[in-house]
């Protein structure tokens, strides 16, 4: 199946895809994405709704000790490293970026806890930059639909960038995430609702 046809179907299923994390600023989004590693967006939203009531800027976040922040984000998992990274990232924003989240991909990746995927999410979502963030959903769907053939996120990202026009990267990322989260799930995908059923590499013998 051609990339154009896949995009057409994704546009029909998710005409206005939206990030399911809740945020009111690039800083809030950055914190939420750091918390989302190995955690569901639903859980992150439940945590950040309370956290951001009082701690929605780098300055306010740094009023917390690491132990205090750990207590507030405990349910997101890996809370020790996440708290350490959020505080280090917040401190760097104040010291190097005048308290603002940088709008540059390379600068974003210099921050603690910010890898390529996190930087791509923030760059695309907060600043409307052209980027494709490859999470577990995007990785799985891309391989099943033969858009890529790799278990490495960077290789999948490169493959998608080659196949799709730069102007749709941000939308495509969100569509692939939603498609993978609700239809093309890791276990027991809902293949009967999938428009790509005949072209998918998933073993369909149990459908």
Active-site residues, by number, are: 117, 135
Nearest to 19 by CA among 137, 186, 167, 154: 137
Structure-token pair, residue 58: 């780098």
User: Helix 153-163 vs helix 116-127: angle between axes, to the nearest 10 degrees?
Assistant: 40
Say which DSSP state 41 is in: H
Note whether 7 and 176 are within 8 A (CB): no
To which residue do tokens 């809902």 refer? 190
Q: Collapsing DSSP states into helix, strand and coil, what is residue 178? A: helix
């Amino acid at each position: 199946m051609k990339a154009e046809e896949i995009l057409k179907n994704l546009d029909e299923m998710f005409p206005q895809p939206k990030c399911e994390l809740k945020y009111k600023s690039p800083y809030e989004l950055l914190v939420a994405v750091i918390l989302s590693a190995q955690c569901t967006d639903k859980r992150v939203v439940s945590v950040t709704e309370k956290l951001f009531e009082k701690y929605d800027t780098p300055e306010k976040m740094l009023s917390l000790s690491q132990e205090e922040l750990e207590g507030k984000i405990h349910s997101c998992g890996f809370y020790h490293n996440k708290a350490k990274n959020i505080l280090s990232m917040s401190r760097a924003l104040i010291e190097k970026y005048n308290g603002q989240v940088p709008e540059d991909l390379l600068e974003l990746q210099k921050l603690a806890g910010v890898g390529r995927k996190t930087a791509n999410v923030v760059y695309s979502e907060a600043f409307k930059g052209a980027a494709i963030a490859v999470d577990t959903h995007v990785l799985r769907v891309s391989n099943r639909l033969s858009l890529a053939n790799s278990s490495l996120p960077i290789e999948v990202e490169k493959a998608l960038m080659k196949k799709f026009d730069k102007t749709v990267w941000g939308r495509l990322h969100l569509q692939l995430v939603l498609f993978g989260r609700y239809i093309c799930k890791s276990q027991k995908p809902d293949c009967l609702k999938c428009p790509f059923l005949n072209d998918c590499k998933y073993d369909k013998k149990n459908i």
